[in-house]
Chain A
C-alpha cells in the first residue's frame, strides 16, 4: 500500500515538472507583458518536432537537443513580440486574445500540413528503462526531464532575482509605467520575456520527446494544465507556478489512484477551487479577508 502511494506521488511529481515548464512560460508572459498566450502549447509542440527531426535525421539525443530547441524558440519569441504582440499592446484586451488564439490555430494547422497528423515517437536507450528504488520505479526519461525542468526553473528564478535584466522584468511586471520612468525599455524587456517563455516551452517539448508522442494537437493536452497552474500559483508568479504544477501533478496522480481513473482532473479542479476560496489570488497571494 505504502509503495503504491509513494509510486503515485513520484509519478505526479515527474509529470508536474513538465507542467511547470509550460506554466512558468505562460505566467512569465502574463506577468511581464500582461497578455495571455493561448499558443504556448503549440510552442511545446514545435519543440517536440525540432527534437524529433534532430533525433531521426542527425541522431541527436532529445535531451541534448534542448540546446538547439531553446535558442530557436527564444528567437521565435523575440520576433513574435516584435512583429505581432507589440502592435496590439496599447489596444484593449480583445485583439490580444485573438492574436495569440489565431497564432495557436495557425501553428496547429500549418503543422498538420507539414508534419501530417501521424504520431511520431523517438526511442532512446533510456526510453523504456527505469531506476528501481526499493519497489518504486522511476523511468529515466522522466527523471532526466524532471531534473532539467527544475534546473531551468531555478536558473530563471536566479536570473529574475540577480541580473539587471531580470530585475527590469520584475519591475515591468509590477508596474509598467513606473518601470518606464526608471529608464527601463519595455520593448526590450517584453521581447526577452517572450523569448524566455517560448524557450521554456521548447525545452518542455524536447524533454517530453523521449516518452511522449508528437502530433500537431499535442499542445492542447498540456496547455490546459498550464493555465490551471498559472491561476493556482498566482498570476504572474514564477515560483507559484512551479509549486502549483508539482502539486497538480501529485493531486492528479493520487486522484487517479484513489478516486477513479477518470477523476484525476476532478481532484485538480477541486484543489484549484478550494485554494481560490481560501486565497482568492492563488497560492502565492494573501488569505481571504
Chain B
C-alpha cells in the first residue's frame, strides 16, 4: 500500500496536472501520523427498509462525531474515524457487490451493518473472505456459525424467543398464547424458536398459525385468535401487517395482551401509526434508550438531530462504534486483522462501549457477547420503557 501511495505521489508530481490533483485531493495521502481510520457502514437507505436504514446512518454519524470530538484514536496520534457509507438497497445481491466494492475500494479497518439479518449474513460472508472484521446488531444465530471476523455484541434471536415466553407470565399466571406469524423465512424461523422453548418455559401455546404477509384485512385472523381462547398473543409481523392487527384488536372486541417482538414494532414510526392503541403493548429488543446514563445521553443527542427517540438498532450501533474505537485504540493500528485481534479480546464494562443490556461486552470464540441479553419493553406514554427482566427494568409494567 505504501509503495502504491508513493507511486501515486510520484505520478501526481510528475504529471502535475490539475486533473489528477483535484481528483486525488479528496483522498488523504497516507503516511502521516493522523491519517483517518476508515470504517465501512453498510445500510439500506433506499428500498423497503430505507427509513430504518437512514436512521442507522444518522446514529452512525452521531457516534463517529462523538468519538472524533473527544480526540479520536489517541494511540494513532488522534486519528479521526472516517465513516464510508454504502447503500445496500434492502437487496442481497447489492449487499454482496457493495461489501466487495467497499473493501477493495477503500482501506477499511472494520465494517458495521446491515440492520436486516438477511443482508448482514451476506456482508459477513464477504468480510470473512476479505479478512475484515464486521460488527453488527443483527440477531440471527446463523451469524455466529463458522465465522471468525463477525462480532455480535447483543442478544441473539434464540434469546429473544425465551424472553418473550417469560414475559407472557407477567400478564397471567397461566399464559395461553396464540402465536401468529407471517409465512416467510423470518416469521417461520422466529415462531419455531418460540414453539421449541414454550414447554420448558411452562407456557401453553393454544394457537400456532402462519398467515399470508401483506393481507388486506386483519379481522378474520383476529376472529380466529378470539375463538382460540388465548389470553396473550405473539405477533411475528412486519410493520404494515402489525399496524392492521393492532388497529383491529379493539374493533374486534378482543381482550388480549400483545407481544410483538422487535423490528418495526420498536420504531417511533409504529407509535405514530397506531397512536394510543400502542399503549401497553410489549416487545423485545437488544437495546433500549433508558438502560444507562450513557444511553440516555445518546438519546438526547439523537433527538436533537432527528426529533425522534433513539431506536433499538441505532442505539446499539453507537455502542458498536465505541467498541470498534476501543479495539482500534488498543491495536494502535488501522490494519483490519489487528483490529479483529483487538476486538476478540475486548472486555468493557463502562463507558459508551459497554452501553448494552447487561452492561458488559466480551466476545466468545463464536463472536457472541457472552453477557448479551435481551430486554423486555413496553409502550408507555408514547415511549418505549424497559420493563423486563426485573434487574433491567426502568419502569413498572403497565397492566392492560
The stretch of A11-19, A30-38, A174-182 in contact with B is A11-19
Knowing A221-B214, A262-B183, say if A252 contacts B273 (CB, 8 Å).
Answer: no
Grouping DSSP codes into helix (H, G, I), strand (E, B) and loop, the B interface class, with mixed when no group exceeds half, is: helix
Residues of chain A lying within 8 A (CB to CB) of residue B216? 15, 18-19, 212, 221-222, 225
The stretch of A97-105, A112-120, A163-171, A233-241 in contact with B is A112-120
Instruction: Say yes or no for B118: interface residue by CB 8 A criterion.
Output: no
Instruction: Say yes or no for B251: interface residue by CB 8 A criterion.
Output: yes
Q: Is the CB of A130 within 8 A of B215?
A: no
Instruction: Say yes or no for B48: interface residue by CB 8 A criterion.
Output: yes
Instruction: Say yes or no for B244: interface residue by CB 8 A criterion.
Output: yes
Number of A-B contacts (CB under 8 A): 109
Residues of chain A lying within 8 A (CB to CB) of residue B277? 128
Q: Is the CB of A4 within 8 A of B251?
A: no
Q: Is the CB of A253 within 8 A of B220?
A: yes
Q: Is the CB of B224 within 8 A of A256?
A: yes
Q: Is the CB of A256 within 8 A of B244?
A: no
CB-defined interface of B268-286 with A at 8 Å, one 1/0 digit per residue? 0100111101000000000
Q: Is the CB of A119 within 8 A of B240?
A: yes
CB contact list, B236-269 vs A, under 8 A: 239-240, 243-244, 247-248, 250-253, 269
Instruction: Say yes or no for A276: interface residue by CB 8 A criterion.
Output: no
Residues of chain B lying within 8 A (CB to CB) of residue A8? 220, 223
Q: Is the CB of A117 within 8 A of B180?
A: no
Q: Is the CB of B251 within 8 A of A137?
A: yes
Nearest CB of chain A from residue B44's CB, rounded to whole Å: 11
Partner of A119 from B183, B227, B243 at Cβ < 8 Å? B243
CB-defined interface of A133-146 with B at 8 Å, one 1/0 digit per residue? 00001010110000
Interface size on B, residues (CB 8 A): 36
Residues of chain A lying within 8 A (CB to CB) of residue B91? none
Nearest CB of chain B from residue A6's CB, rounded to whole Å: 10
Instruction: Say yes or no for A7: interface residue by CB 8 A criterion.
Output: yes
Complex formed: what's the CA distance from A117 to B313 in Å? 19
CB contact list, B141-198 vs A, under 8 A: 180, 183
Q: Is the CB of B212 within 8 A of A257?
A: no
Complex formed: what's the CA distance from A2 to B223 in Å? 12
Instruction: Say yes or no for A260: interface residue by CB 8 A criterion.
Output: yes
Complex formed: what's the CA distance from A253 to B239 in Å? 22
Complex formed: what's the CA distance from A119 to B244 in Å? 11
Knowing A11-B217, A119-B269, A257-B220, say if A137 contacts B244 (CB, 8 Å).
Answer: no
CB-defined interface of B189-227 with A at 8 Å, one 1/0 digit per residue? 000000000000000000001111011110111011011
Complex formed: what's the CA distance from A139 to B240 in Å? 19
Complex formed: what's the CA distance from A141 to B219 in Å? 13
Q: Is the CB of B243 within 8 A of A262?
A: no
CB contact list, A1-59 vs B, under 8 A: 4, 7-8, 11-12, 14-15, 18-19
Instruction: Say yes or no for B51: interface residue by CB 8 A criterion.
Output: yes
Residues of chain B lying within 8 A (CB to CB) of residue A211? 247-248, 251
Q: Is the CB of B215 within 8 A of A257?
A: no
CB-defined interface of B121-137 with A at 8 Å, one 1/0 digit per residue? 00000000000000000
Q: Is the CB of A4 within 8 A of B243?
A: no
Q: Is the CB of A130 within 8 A of B273?
A: no
11 pairs, CB–CB < 8 Å, chain A vs chain B: A12-B220, A116-B50, A117-B51, A121-B272, A129-B251, A130-B251, A211-B251, A213-B273, A253-B217, A256-B224, A260-B210
Minimum-distance CB pairs A-B, first 8: A139-B251, A256-B220, A261-B211, A261-B209, A11-B219, A253-B220, A15-B217, A121-B273
Further pairs besides A139-B248, A256-B224, A264-B212: 12, Cβ < 8 Å: A14-B217, A14-B219, A15-B216, A119-B239, A119-B240, A137-B253, A139-B219, A213-B243, A222-B216, A253-B220, A264-B220, A265-B212
